[in-house]
Amino acid sequence: MKGTVGLIVGSRGFFPAELIKEGRERILKVLEEEGFNVITFSPSDGKFGAVETLEHSINCAELFKANSEKIEGIIVTLPNFGDERSIANTLRFSKLDVPVLVHAFPDDLNKMDVAHRRDSFCGKLSICNNLNQYGIPFSLTKLHTVAPESKSFREDLKWFNSVCKVVNGLKNARIGLIGARPAAFNTVRFSEKLLENYGISVEPIDLSEIFDGISKLPDNDSAVREKVERLRNYMDTAGVPENAILKMAKFSVVIDKWMKENKLVASAIQCWSAIENIYGIVPCAVMSMMSESLLPSACETDVPGVIAMYALQLASGTPSVIVDWNNNYGEDPDKAVVFHCSNYPKSFLKEPKMTFQDIISGTVGKENAYGSCAGRISSGPMTFARVSTNDLIGTIQAYVGEGEFTDDPLSTFGGYGIAHVEGLQELLRIICERGFEHHVAMNKSNSAEVLYEAFSNYLGWDVYWHK
Residues 77-125: pLDDT tens digits? 999 999 999 999 999 999 999 999 999 999 999 998 888 899 999 999 9
Tell me the β-bridge partners of 203: 176
- Give the mean pLDDT of 26-42: 97
Look at residue 2 in the predicted model and tell me its pLDDT. 84
- What average pLDDT does this structure show over 285-294? 98
Q: Report the C-alpha gap between 139 and 160 in whole angstroms.
A: 8
Is there a contact between 368 and 415 (Cβ–Cβ < 8 Å)?
no
- Whether the Cβ atoms of residue 73 and residue 42 lie closer than 8 Å to each other: no
| Residues 85, 278: Cα–Cα separation, whole Å | 64
Gap between the Cα atoms of 67 and 93, Å rounded = 14
> What is the C-alpha separation between 278 and 341, in angstroms, rounded?
19
Could you give all domains of the chain from N- to C-terminal order, each with its CATH number? 4-170 (3.40.50.10940), 174-466 (3.20.14)
Question: Does 1 have pLDDT greater than 70?
Answer: no
pLDDT at 14 exceeding the cut of 80: no
pLDDT digits (tens, 9 = 90+) for 375-406: 999 999 999 999 999 999 999 999 999 999 99
CB atoms within 10 A of CB 224: 19
DSSP 276: I
pLDDT at residue 381, rounded to an integer: 98
Question: Percentage of residues in the chain with pLDDT exceeding 70?
Answer: 100
Q: What is the DSSP letter of 107?
A: P
- Tens digits of residue pLDDT in 229-268: 999 999 999 999 999 999 999 999 999 999 999 999 999 9
For residues 80 and 78, give the distance between their C-alpha atoms in angstroms, rounded to a whole number.
5
Q: Does residue 133 surpass a pLDDT of 90?
A: yes
Residue 15's pLDDT is 78
Residue 100 region by backbone torsions, left for phi larger than 0, else alpha for psi between -120 and 50, else beta: beta
- What number is the average pLDDT over the span 281-289? 98
Q: Look at residue 142 and tell me whether its pLDDT is greater than 90.
A: yes
Q: Which helix (H) or strand (E) holds 94?
A: helix 84-94
Q: What is the pLDDT of residue 406?
A: 98
Q: Is the pLDDT of residue 175 over 70?
A: yes
Q: What pLDDT is recorded for position 16? A: 79
Q: Give the mean pLDDT of the chain.
A: 97
Strand pairing partners for 326? none
Indicate if the alpha-carbon torsion angle 176, 181, 182, 185 is positive or negative.
Answer: positive
Query: Mean pLDDT across the stretch 324-347?
Result: 97
The answer on pLDDT for 421 being more than 70 is yes
Q: Percent of the chain, pLDDT > 90?
A: 95
The backbone torsions φ and ψ at residue 294, rounded to the nearest 5 degrees and listed phi first, read: 65, 35
Contact 328, 337 (CB under 8 A): yes
**Which residues make beta-bridge pairs with 339?**
324, 416
Q: Which residues have CB under 8 Å from 197's CB, separation 6+?
A: none
